[in-house]
Structure 1
Amino acid sequence: MMMVTSRLVLGLLVLKLVLASPPRYSRQAELDNYDAELDNLDLENKDLYEYYDELSIDEPKIEIGTLAPDEDHDHLPNASLEEEEGEEEKEVERTLRKPNLIPSGSGDPGVLMGPDTQGGLPTCVLCTCLGGSVYCDDTKLVHVPPLPKDTTHFYARYNRIMKINKSDFANMNKLKRIDLTHNAISKIDDGALFGLPALEELVIRENSVIQLPALPATMTLVDVSHNKLGGTSIQNEAFKDMTGLLYLYLTDNNIDHVPVPLPESLRSLHLQNNNIQMIHGDTFCNLNDVNYVRTALEDVRLDGNPVNLSRSPQAYVCLPRIPVGALI
């Protein structure tokens, strides 16, 4: 009896376990129906697939922008794209054309160098500025342009400058060299160069200068060759106080005398192709000192003048070399 009861209880437990577990065939049924479900899904989305298949790569695609608007750029209200682009171009043009204040030596500090320069260009755009040197060679200048205040060397050769005004180099306290070779300069204002405390070299050859202005005592080189200087174009004792003058070139003019007194420092004096007719005993030497020797002046050129050097031999006894010129 006990055994029968035990078996009955055990059978009930097994039956309960079997009923509680999922049927084995349900998973298999799901797997068997997977392909069918896919086929049904394809049928349901068939129209959608056919739509995408009909799209060509040439058809435009709509892109939705997600970037926030530029807060730094305010668009004009109700303005078209062309109007906005036009406003942007005008703003860029205004920025590029805005002149800058550049320290200038030609006038008061801070002169606008854009409008005052030929062609409306700043000097250092029209010319080339390297350190303290300004190069304006062959740029069709008709006047001296405004220069930076710290300019030390100025070159404007082969241009069309006709005059040097008193204001052209005003307040240029560092300017050492001016080279205006081959221009059309006929006049230099009085005082235009005399007030330059650092000026050492002046080259204005191949112009039409008829009067040499007063120059500062700091000069070491003066070249006024190939101009129109005459008998009264050079002031009396014009070079006397230039104690550091080394080179004086006055060739191809119409000068009729040697511009004495010449400073002791002078090494080279070129006066060829002028109208000098006489050399006096005290032109180079000291008649009161027979032992005087002018050792520095080794290069004197007088060829091309209507003077016979052999007529006044005593005028050269103090020189290291006899001047170059006609001896007959």
Structure 2
Amino acid sequence: MAPRTLAIMRIGIVILPDQRWSVSRHRWRRADEWGFDHAWTYDHLGWRDLVDGPWFDSMTTLTAAATVTKRIRLGTLVASPNFRHPAAFARQVTALDDVSDGRTLLGLGAGGIGFDAAVLGGETLPPRQRVDRFAEFTELLDTILRRDGTTWRGDWFAAVDARSNPGCVQEPRAPFVVAANGPRSMRIAARFGQGWVTTGPAVDDLDDWWTGVAELTSRLDATLAAQGRDPASLDRYLSLDSAPVFSLSSAQFFADQVERAAKLGFTDVITHWPRASSWYAGDEAVLVEVATRVLPELRR
């Protein structure tokens, strides 16, 4: 039986865009039927060693998912300025929020290095410049989604009379869930986010990972206090599978990890649909057990 402390948690799942829609649509539908609160996909043009295999566009996938689901929220984990421009992306966000009838969650991040940073032929930026670019990306995207007809010329982006009419179904726009581990990106989350998502530290020991996650939550609290924002006004998402152990190793392990997240004040956790090999390799039977046994306990 899942601990009672889990009752406050919302549970999400990532469905990677590495399967043809004839396969993938059943996963999105099942996630909705099982009662997951939100479902996500990666917003990359290619990801790590999976770049050589099948891979599909995130916004097209999410739009298709909106047509085969009824209640689950749908999001990018995470969109970045590596290959996105706020003026064009705002149109896609507006369309997704319309098709999903206001179920969009917009995960945003600074963007890393690797395929996405290189595929367009541009320079791979160092961390400080990536955060500079991200700050402008987020502010401009926020502005376009809130106000139709935006003209902007910054250090990284320009827009001339950028439109978002008729606007998102959600007002004033689809919620931003901002990925942030460092102090500068946390300030972006505090300013623009309705949610904050973290992957925790890059370590090999599970207990060390949780210690790092706790430190990040304390850093976020300090950031919110410095900006005069009520901590309760920002949802907190934890990507469980950034830990050294896959969260769906067993149903009990998953329940234990969710309980640890709840004790640190997280409102939401995110797991991944198990894959046959490589990243997030696991047994789908564990996911079924979590969905049919653990999740119902959370609703009691």
TM range (shorter): under 0.3
Between structure 1 and structure 2, the one with the greater Rg is 1
TM-score scaled by length of structure 2: 0.27
Tell me which protein shows more strand as a share of its residues. Answer: 2
Which protein has greater RCO, CA pairs closer than 8 Å, 6+ apart? Answer: 2
Q: Provide the TM-score with structure 1 as the length reference.
A: 0.25
